[in-house]
Structure 1
């Protein structure tokens, strides 16, 4: 499985492979043409309640990851994403968060690798 993460605001690169937006909301200031997506899998993102509770607070990251993993265990979109990662040679999970280390895409990547 060759999966990586990248901000949606970063330039598209040939080595991105299959580009999947994993945010529930469309990123501000990005046109669909600029995004150059292969798939927008909004339902794999954290629930609105969990996202609001977390608020990208680094101090809550461990608890957020545990709660998000529990959501993913029962989420058909997570199963769909796992299939995509098995079928494609390279997948890039795209997210809009500013912090490259504290975001749900990193938790999702760890979930997929587990």
Structure 2
């Protein structure tokens, strides 16, 4: 199982495997052809309210991560998380985000939740 996080603006690489966009909004200025996105599970992304709260600087990353994990307990999000886990069992998966700091984003939370081999 191989999972990693990359910025969606970076060009695709041969070892990306299945490219999964994990942002609720489509990245600005990027065409769908250029993004090479295979999956876009919007219900797996943080809610609009949580995203706005975090970007407003109202809380720490740790609190954001806790709130996001709680959102992932919802049935639809949980099903999508299981689906992405299934994808990782079949081959490499790259989580794509437009976040300027992927290590302090929801993509890092997903990476951690998807297993020990995630990088």
Common fold by TM > 0.5: yes
Is the CA contact 1:56–1:102 (under 8 Å) kept in the aligned structure 2? no
Gaps of 5+ in 2: none
- Listed one character per residue, the Cα deviations across residues 60-102 of structure 1 (whole Å, up to 9, x for unaligned) are 1101111111111222322222222223x10000000111321
CA distance in 2, matches of 1:56, 1:72: 21
Q: In 2 relative to 1, CA 56–17 (structure 1 residues): closer, same or farther, beyond 3 Å?
A: farther
Secondary structure of the structure 2 residue equivalent to 1:33? helix
Give the aligned CA root-mean-square deviation in angstroms. 1.8
Equivalent residue for 2:31? 31
Change (3 A) 1:3 1:56: farther
Normalised TM-score (structure 2): 0.86
Query: 1:101 matched to which residue of 2?
Result: 103
TM (normalized to structure 1)?
A: 0.89
The runs of 5 or more residues in structure 1 that have no matched partner are none
Moved over 4 A (4+): none
> Which residue in 2 is equivalent to 1:83?
86
How many residues were matched structurally?
113
Say whether 1:14 aligns with 2:30. no
